Amino acid sequence: MGEARREIRFLLNGEDVALRDVRPDETLLDWLRLRRALKGTKEGCAEGDCGACTVLVGRLGRDGLTYESVNACIRFVGSLDGCHVVTVEHLAGANGALHPVQQAMVDFHGSQCGFCTPGFVMSLYALWMRTPDPSVAHIETALQGNLCRCTGYEAIVRAARAVSSYGDAGRDPLVAERAAVTARLQAMRDGRRVEIGEGRERLVVPASLDDLAAVLEAEPKATVVAGSTDVGLWVTKMMRDIAPVVFIGALRELQAMSEKDGVVTIGAGVSYTAARDFLAGRIPALGELIDRIGGEQVRNMGTLGGNIANGSPIGDTPPPLIALDATLTLRKGRQRRTILLEDFFIAYGRQDRQPGEFVEAVHVPLPAAHEKFAVYKVTKRRDEDITAVLGAFRLALGDDGTVASVRIAYGGMAATPKRAPAVEAALVGRPWTQASVEAAMAACEADFSPLTDMRATAGYRALVARNLLLRFFLETTGTPGPLGVSRYEVA
């Protein structure tokens, strides 16, 4: 492994960057604007919700060089080692000719005040690279993390639909430079740990999973940062001191996904985007759920491990994973232990994780063919919103039509993601009928005493929790007609 490197290296547009003086909590947005005077990237919210700061980050992975949209406002510079950062300034041609994405936005009147526009351009650019001829659903999903207050979006969607007719991908800078960028990024890889600064200035980028274990054993109070979609706000909003920081986003060993004997294992560093692609075909309900977590930028950064490790009562993935009897592998030094995910959440803000210990992987048993599984997320706004109530349901019926087993877990109903034991007990052994379900709905009160906050009142949460069980019943019993509202026709 050799001696630690004392600088972060990455590519910024066409330029090699090596930084020795980067603070662990320095955001990419501030760095771009304040240190590099690249002012096309805007700050709209500094919490990863509005997308005005959207840039692309390219990384070498299993599939070669891939680019993803990210929120520069909550992305730390220290996490960019070995990456290619692409800002809006890189898009136009050398002669000032606009990129097809930009030209379409101009031609279709996709900007009014223009402040959000560079962010939209970058999100549409990422979409264009991945899906050159996108459907409206593709476009809307790609734009979940971009807010525009002027246009009402119609003109932007028109532009996005038209881009494919502008042609000439060959003129695109990232297409043209692909081989050269790949070579330059490969040349940056030296397999060494990166360490910069001391005390409140200290950041570490471990070289490997074993190195991470060693770092955390030596520095158990370090803040572990994967996608920084949560920790980013500790800095930009709470102004908390997070050093020393250990950046794990680049550790490939944490990004492994596999399936063996009906159990899917997902590394803690797998992004939502990657997990979605892997899970959607295996557990469709999880794929659909992930499409409604944050915006595209957040899904590209945020990880399944982070969603679990931060212990939030409104994290979206724990309830369905609990309902699926998922387990966690925790690691400290060389020691590993595996526990039920359900047992990981002890109380609000408290998890079963020792100092120096980290989440390594989550193991998700696939539902059996005869089992029915569903997840419902209820929010004020359909997309890019934090859960008011989320319900996850897994049911197996016996041959006689009675409930052989049932797992029900909710988010937003208690201080932690939590199972509903009284509801489950009211169902097991009973016939799967509306009468049984209504009796079980009443038992919800015994399981939960939800709170009132800015997202929902206690009364609404309790009512919705009950009704989601009813929806699950209606869906599993073939009730005709639409049983929920949907933006997209089911394919």
Residues between 23 and 82 with contacts to other proteins, criterion CB under 8 A: 30, 33, 37, 39-47, 49-50, 52
Encoded tokens for 60: 């070498």
Question: CB of residue 453 vs other proteins: minimum separation in angstroms?
Answer: 7
What's the half-sphere exposure (Cβ side, CA atoms, 13 Å) at 343?
9
Among 12, 72, 147, 361, binds other proteins (CB under 8 A): 147
Q: Which is nearer to other proteins, 120 or 278 (CB)?
A: 120
The C-alpha atoms of residue 91 and residue 54 are separated, in whole angstroms, by 13
CB 116 within 8 A of CB 50: yes
The C-alpha atoms of residue 83 and residue 86 are separated, in whole angstroms, by 10
Contact call for residue 460 and other proteins (CB under 8 A): yes
Q: Which is nearer to other proteins, 141 or 273 (CB)?
A: 141
Q: Are strands 8-12 and 389-397 parallel, antiparallel or unpaired?
A: unpaired
Q: Per CB under 8 A, which of residues 324..383 are in contact with other proteins?
A: 376, 378-383
Q: Which is nearer to other proteins, 50 or 194 (CB)?
A: 50
Question: CB of residue 416 vs other proteins: minimum separation in angstroms?
Answer: 20
Encoded tokens for 435: 């009468």
Q: Looking at the DSSP assignment, which residues form a beta bridge with residue 408?
A: 393
Angle between helices 434-447 and 458-476 (to 10 degrees): 150
Q: Which is nearer to other proteins, 21 or 154 (CB)?
A: 154
Give Cα 224 to chain centroid, integer Å. Answer: 16
Question: CB of residue 385 vs other proteins: minimum separation in angstroms?
Answer: 6
**DSSP result, 285-353:** HHHHHHTTSS-HHHHHH-BHHHHHHT--TT-SSHHHHHHTT-EEEEEETTEEEEEEHHHHEEETTEES-
| CA dist 253 → 51, 209, 361 (Å) | 29, 6, 10
Angle between helices 154-162 and 117-130 (to 10 degrees): 40
- The CB density around residue 324, as the number of other CB atoms within 10 Å, is 26
Q: Per CB under 8 A, which of residues 234..273 are in contact with other proteins?
A: 236-237, 239
Number of residues that bind other proteins (CB under 8 A): 92
- For residue 445, the surrounding DSSP H or E stretch is helix 434-447
Q: Which is nearer to other proteins, 449 or 457 (CB)?
A: 457
Among 114, 220, 284, 429, binds other proteins (CB under 8 A): 114
Contact call for residue 139 and other proteins (CB under 8 A): yes
Q: Looking at the DSSP assignment, which residues form a beta bridge with residue 70?
A: 55
Contact call for residue 464 and other proteins (CB under 8 A): yes
Q: Which is nearer to other proteins, 107 or 325 (CB)?
A: 107
Angle between helices 100-107 and 154-162 (to 10 degrees): 140
Contact call for residue 457 and other proteins (CB under 8 A): yes
Q: Which of 255, 286, 272, 301 is closest to 364 using CA atoms?
A: 286
Q: Which is nearer to other proteins, 91 or 359 (CB)?
A: 91
Contact call for residue 483 and other proteins (CB under 8 A): yes
Contact call for residue 91 and other proteins (CB under 8 A): yes
Question: CB of residue 233 vs other proteins: minimum separation in angstroms?
Answer: 8
Indicate if the alpha-carbon torsion angle 187, 57, 160, 101 is positive or negative.
negative
Stretch that binds other proteins, among 323-331, 351-359, 404-412, 476-484 (CB under 8 A): 476-484
Question: CB of residue 306 vs other proteins: minimum separation in angstroms?
Answer: 16
The C-alpha atoms of residue 370 and residue 399 are separated, in whole angstroms, by 11
Stretch that binds other proteins, among 75-83, 87-95, 183-191, 192-200 (CB under 8 A): 87-95
Question: CB of residue 369 vs other proteins: minimum separation in angstroms?
Answer: 27
Stretch that binds other proteins, among 263-271, 274-282, 320-328, 450-458 (CB under 8 A): 450-458
Q: Which is nearer to other proteins, 99 or 332 (CB)?
A: 99
Q: Which is nearer to other proteins, 150 or 340 (CB)?
A: 150
The C-alpha atoms of residue 73 and residue 386 are separated, in whole angstroms, by 19
Among 150, 176, 218, 347, binds other proteins (CB under 8 A): 150
Question: CB of residue 16 vs other proteins: minimum separation in angstroms?
Answer: 22
Among 19, 148, 268, 359, binds other proteins (CB under 8 A): 148
What's the half-sphere exposure (Cβ side, CA atoms, 13 Å) at 177?
17
Among 388, 390, 392, 414, binds other proteins (CB under 8 A): 388
Question: CB of residue 205 vs other proteins: minimum separation in angstroms?
Answer: 23
Stretch that binds other proteins, among 181-189, 343-351, 354-362, 455-463 (CB under 8 A): 455-463
